[in-house]
Structure 1
Amino acid sequence: MSNPPTEFYSAERWQNWIGRIQDEDIDPEDEDSARLLLNLQDDTAIAVAKIVAAYDDGEIDQETALEEIQDVREIVLSEVDIDDEEKLILVDGVQTSLVCVFFAAEEYVADGPAEDGTVDDYVGAAADAEAEENLDAALGYAAQAGTLIIDGEELDMSVAEELEYGLVTEWINGLDSLQSAMSDPEVVEEDE
């Protein structure tokens, strides 16, 4: 095995984003604010995509890949120290979207892509499970959709528009970031 990158993501990197959000006037209706939040999400999805790619390319083994994903998850899903309640809610939305990205990547590394359906099938199953308030199953189905996206299948975002807003739509938003990251894993510049 060749030498893998020493670090896919760092707590410092995450804190830089949080610091920017804390310092700026954030208005989700404003394009620049929305882009900042999306960049925060995409940046994390790119780190996850790079871990999965390194695993697929044989640069890191399964155990290392799972540990790396876990490390990024712990950084990104830890409690954020922001005083502003609205900003906290917005960052929480990004964290919620990314939950499914982590589960999908872990599932993919552990078991490979789902075999019994399409991305749309799993998204539909996730929405149905959420409607029945079975959130564990909903997350499981959304993660299965994510394994297929990692494997190269397309997520059609118009599917999300038909769903009632909830956790599944948040997760699909995260999977959309993952899909972009898988096709173009370029680092989002923090100083844009």
Structure 2
Amino acid sequence: MTEDESVETFYSEERWQNWLDRVAEEELDPENEDAARLLLNLQDDAAIAVAKVLAALEEDRIDEERAVEEIRSVSDIVLAEVALDDEDKEMLIDGVQTSLVPVFYAAEEYVVGGVVDGDVTEFVRAAADAEAEEDLDAALGYVVQAGTRVIDGERLDIELVEEMEYGLVSEWVNGLDSLQSAIEDPEVVEED
């Protein structure tokens, strides 16, 4: 095995672009189940990449420094500005990107600082309270802390979102739900 073969690729710009091309080609009606599934698959695919980085770290195939680099690499690819010909589709992709923000932060926090003491549900409720007070930095911090707990195996009850006002915290918690699914079952989402 050459050194190049031993370097695992967790995510690529080409993979993200394939998803974006698919979104560009599809008729996307958010009320349509297939459209919603496409966006969820796109989101889950990025979360799976993060879960694979964390698994590689846990299995000692990569060290902490490489894990942080890989998480940042996936983040840079997925959170880069997207230019599509359709504003509605751009907004839908923006929603996916927003949902994934705490996934990247939580994974990095987990690698660097470990699991935060606390309870997922309490963190999510604290985030919703902070959002209600328009303290979005604190809200994101709480969601990231919840994310470290999710990575560590604590269950996130997605029904929490149904109790909340729709906003950033509900989108961020949706991202953590994708991360939770990816950690439990890191199967690759097929692009086609």
Q: TM-score, normalised by structure 1?
A: 0.96
Q: Name the counterpart of 2:121.
A: 120
Question: Is the Cα contact below 8 Å between 1:4 and 1:54 reproduced in 2?
Answer: no
- Any residues of structure 2 matched to 1:83-94 within 5 Å, and which? 83-94=85-96
Question: Is the Cα contact below 8 Å between 1:4 and 1:60 reproduced in 2?
Answer: no
Deviations 1:26-69 (A, max 9, x none): 01100100000000000000000000111122111111000000
- Any residues of structure 2 matched to 1:63-78 within 5 Å, and which? 63-78=65-80
- Any residues of structure 2 matched to 1:1-192 within 5 Å, and which? 5-115=7-117, 117-191=118-192
Mind listing any 5+ residue stretches in structure 2 that lack a counterpart? none
Is the partner of 1:76 in helix, strand or coil? Answer: helix
C-alpha distance in 1 between matches for 2:188 and 2:125? 31
C-alpha distance in 1 between matches for 2:91 and 2:9? 28
Mind listing any 5+ residue stretches in structure 1 that lack a counterpart? none
Quote the offset at 1:142 in angstroms: 0.1
Is the partner of 1:8 in helix, strand or coil? Answer: coil
C-alpha distance in 1 between matches for 2:132 and 2:7? 41
Amino acid at match of 1:158: E
Question: Is the Cα contact below 8 Å between 1:114 and 1:148 reproduced in 2?
Answer: yes
Change (3 A) 1:29 1:5: farther
Quote the offset at 1:6 in angstroms: 2.1
C-alpha distance in 2 between matches for 1:5 and 1:123? 36
Amino acid at match of 2:131: E
C-alpha distance in 1 between matches for 2:8 and 2:53? 11
Amino acid at match of 2:102: C
